[in-house]
Amino acid sequence: MYSLSLFDETEMEIVKAFCKGSVENSKLRKELNLSESTICYRLKAIRLKMHANDLEELAYKFCSLRFIEEFPSDNLAQYYSTSFTETEQKILRLICQGIYKPRLIANCINCKISTVKTHLGNIRNKLHCSKTAEVIIKVFQSGIARKLSDNASPS
């Protein structure tokens, strides 16, 4: 099973910053004062330890394993009341289930990949995110994931 004890001290600092929403190398570099090569190397090591293929999968695993609860982020309550269209809500529910690739989302909601990419762009804009991995973290940490699951219509 995965646990925070998998990581050395530097990796823990990266995990902590990542769980607080710093998912871009440039943000991590500024926040942790580490070189680009160190960030890349350590992120790759973290992904390998977590068996994650990409940053989005890593973010989802951190959220589903409740690692993010160990490192709460400030000022995310503002996103809780963000209004999303019905389609954006469907996409966010899928993201909360670990389905974050546009092709897979498009298959699930029966629309074009380009439409999904447009909606993902709108979601990123509303949450002030530049990456889907950051959306995943914010949705879980702000309580939006819980709100969406509470408001989900029975299938």
Residues 135 and 84 in one domain: yes
Supply the range of the domain harboring residue 49.
Answer: 4-70
Position 155 in a domain: no
Residues 6+ apart with CB under 8 A from 111: 87
Position 89 in a domain: yes
d(CA 40, CA 114): 30
State the CATH number of the domain containing residue 134.
Answer: 1.10.10.10
Closest CA to 137 of 88, 100, 104, 83: 100
Q: What is the helix (H) or strand (E) element at residue 86, kind and residue range?
A: helix 86-96
Residues 63 and 98 in one domain: no
Where is the domain boundary, 54, 70, 86?
Answer: 70
pLDDT of residue 74: 67
pLDDT of residue 107: 97
pLDDT tens digit at each of 155 positions of the chain: 788 899 999 999 999 998 888 888 888 888 899 999 999 999 999 999 999 999 999 999 998 888 888 887 766 666 766 789 999 999 999 998 999 999 999 999 999 999 999 999 999 999 989 999 999 998 888 888 888 877 665 44
Residues 87 and 136 in one domain: yes
